[in-house]
Amino acid sequence: MFVPKYTISNNILRNVGRIDASREVIINAPLIPVWEAKFRKEAAERFIHHGTHLEGNPLSQEEVREVLDGQEILARDRDIQEILNYRNVLRFIDTIAEQLGRSGRYILNIETILEIHKLTTEKILPEDAVGKFRFRQVVIRNTKTGQISYTPPPAVEVPYLIEDLVNWINTDETKEIHPVIKAGIIHYELARIHPFVDGNGRVARAVATLVMFLDNYDIRKFFSFEEYFDENPMNYYLTLQAVSNQLVLDTHERDLTPWLEYFIEGVAIELNRVKEKVQRISVDVSLKDQLGGQVELNERQMSIIEFLHKHKSMQNKDFRKIFPDYSDDTVLRELKFLKQKGLVKKVGGTKKATYVLK
């Protein structure tokens, strides 16, 4: 059976701690539904854009957003189809997460991985390659030199290697592994096996995301670690290949520690970004209990809270910076509501009033 070899280094331990700390802040942030939906939409857009851009899709983030919103853009059909396909992958992951919430269990199996590949490559690959393991040898080449940088296992071994991985995923011992470490291991092993003729990177990252969701690490669906990988694609691929090209007698002897350090640091950076963003537009967590749960604020009110978090205070002259399309009376009504809720207090007289978080 597949048994990964790795060491819990100080780097891994430190970043797992950062991940768990960020997760606690994010899941306990008292956001209103409109902001929750906004964060999830933005995370989905980043997941789709960076997940496909990392594999060579040239569409910008704005173009991806337009495609997802149903607008027509000038681009190759294949590039547009990749965006729509990866959206379907994310929807599939969400469906599984919902199923888990209803029944309390979901067993990840080979069919799950094949379905993710099918959704990833539909209308892109030939039908006999969509949702099916590769039937021939493939190699990974350096795009600049043309030299072979990695040779995956023979095609005949792929079904058995994937079955071995799935069996490991579902063991009791594996359930005790931290979800992010487990996701990193699964991502690496899928990339190493390279089970498909195309779409391996997207499938590996999607399955890693699904594994975190299944382990209650969906983190309100606010995160997308693809952005971290896409910021420096060469580092991403070289880290994977460096582990895969280790000179060992048995593949199970490969030390995954360097890859896991890189992967877990990326998750920590992404969740820290999300945490800071959530903190900027949410009231202090301590107010959650004080106000009896979720604070029902509209978007203008949340914009005021965000401004006060960032700038510490606000005066009448700042109204135009935040709300160029609204009258002072409208802004004053929103401030009055926030004062009544105990979130904001007014300092000074009417003409020179300063508003601060209470």
Q: What is the pLDDT of residue 32?
A: 64
The pLDDT tens digits for 109-125 are 999 999 999 999 999 99
Same domain for 157 and 262, yes or no, is: yes
Residue of 37 and 274 predicted with greater confidence: 274
92 backbone dihedrals φ, ψ, rounded to 5°: -65, -45
Q: Tokens 């547009």 sit at which residue?
A: 80
The pLDDT tens digits for 336-349 are 988 888 888 999 87
Same domain for 250 and 315, yes or no, is: no
Beta-ladder partners of 198 = none
Confidence of residue 311 (pLDDT cuts 50, 70, 90): confident
Same domain for 173 and 316, yes or no, is: no
Q: Please provide the average confidence, as pLDDT, over all residues in the chain.
A: 90
Neighbours of 308 (CB within 10 A): 20
129: left (phi over 0), alpha (psi -120 to 50) or beta: alpha
Element at 357 (helix H, strand E): strand 354-357
Q: What whole-number distance in Å separates Cα of residue 223 and Cα of residue 43? A: 6
If we measure between CA atoms, which residue out of 182, 190, 189 comes closest to residue 214?
A: 182
Domain boundary among 255, 281, 307: 281
57: left (phi over 0), alpha (psi -120 to 50) or beta: beta
Beta-ladder partners of 347 = 354
Element at 163 (helix H, strand E): helix 158-169
The pLDDT tens digits for 80-90 are 999 999 999 99
Beta-ladder partners of 344 = 357
Residue 103 has pLDDT above 80, yes or no: no
Same domain for 274 and 322, yes or no, is: no
> Mean pLDDT, to the nearest integer, of 165-192?
96
Number of structural domains in the chain: 2
The pLDDT tens digits for 271-291 are 999 998 887 666 544 555 555
Residue 141 has pLDDT above 60, yes or no: yes
- Which range of residues forms the domain containing residue 241? 10-281
If we measure between CA atoms, which residue out of 154, 117, 124 comes closest to residue 138?
A: 154
Q: What whole-number distance in Å separates Cα of residue 219 and Cα of residue 236? A: 23
Q: What is the pLDDT of residue 125?
A: 97
Q: What is the pLDDT of residue 173?
A: 94
Confidence of residue 132 (pLDDT cuts 50, 70, 90): very high
Neighbours of 24 (CB within 10 A): 13
Same domain for 202 and 54, yes or no, is: yes
Same domain for 83 and 205, yes or no, is: yes
Same domain for 118 and 200, yes or no, is: yes
Q: State whether residue 253 is helix, strand or coil.
A: helix
Beta-ladder partners of 150 = 140
The pLDDT tens digits for 176-187 are 999 999 999 999
> Mean pLDDT, to the nearest integer, of 159-183?
96
Query: How would you classify the pairing of strands 354-357 and 140-141?
Result: unpaired
Same domain for 157 and 206, yes or no, is: yes
Q: What share of the chain is helix, strand, coil (3-state, %, to 5)?
A: 65, 5, 30
pTM score > 0.85 for this model?
no
Q: Tokens 């067993």 sit at which residue?
A: 107
Same domain for 263 and 189, yes or no, is: yes
Are 148 and 181 in contact by the 8 Å Cβ rule? The answer is no
Same domain for 255 and 345, yes or no, is: no
Same domain for 17 and 103, yes or no, is: yes
Tokens representing 5? 């070899």
